[in-house]
Amino acid sequence: MNASDFPTIRDICKLVYPEDTPYTEEELAKHKELYPQGQFVAEHLATGNVAGVHFSLRISMNDYHIDDSWDVLTAHGTFEDHDPVNGHTLYGADVFVSPEHQHHGLAHALTDATRKLAVEEGLWRMVAGSRLPGYSTVVDEISPLKYVQEIVEGKRIDPVLTAHLKDGWSVVKPIQGYLAHDPESAGWAAVIQWINPDCPPPPGFELR
């Protein structure tokens, strides 16, 4: 990720997350400073423009609660809680693809690159939050737990969580208030994780 990419990343962020304030260029610069190898950018070969990104940082989940929000886990988007020494979990803070480049496998490729980083650095798992943009349409009919269960069982499709499950993630639990502004998900998300098969949990850690 280069400084010249920052304006385009901000533009894509505005398109993908219209309800949220996009990253500032100062925040993107801080991400690169703190953990450069954890910030992935996919470029459109024909134009050299940014097509998608995957941002990550290392954290110790023993310092947090499983129900903590994105703001808490990312130090309000600054990544200043990145812990290169005790951070045994790679936290997938964000992945988004420009609308004109979606449905071409870019998010999958970016996630694979991030998993490779987790393996290279000997991290035992990746954790992320999956929005549930289909839930707002059935919020009066079904509980969030049942909604997630039916997605896991293949009885229901959610635009985001279903894609994550196909990409090898597993669900830990649904949580409320993960994102500050996500009316499509009615305020709910699913905590998801990917376990590195080559790395056991560090001492004192539990799979949860």
Cross-strand bridge partners of residue 56: 92
Structure confidence at residue 45 (pLDDT): 82
Task: Report how far Cα 109 is from the mean position of its chain's Cα atoms.
Answer: 14
Show the tokens assigned to 52: 């998608």
State the Cα–Cα distance between residues 4 and 40, nearest whole angstrom.
14
Q: Which of 33-37, 70-74, 183-187 has the lowest mean pLDDT?
A: 183-187
Structure confidence at residue 205 (pLDDT): 67
Domain 1-123 classification at class level: alpha beta
> What are the domain boundaries of the chain?
1-123, 127-195
Show the tokens assigned to 138: 């059935």
Q: What angle is formed at CA 97 by the lines to CA 102 and CA 135, rounded to 5 degrees?
A: 80
Q: Region 194-204: what's the mean pLDDT?
A: 82
Does the structure show a pLDDT above 60 at 208?
Answer: no
pTM of this prediction?
0.90
82-123: pLDDT as tens digits? 999 989 999 999 999 998 888 888 888 999 999 999 999 999
Structure confidence at residue 119 (pLDDT): 95
Could you tell me what percentage of the chain is helix, strand and coil, using 3-state DSSP and rounding each to the nearest 5?
Answer: 35, 20, 45
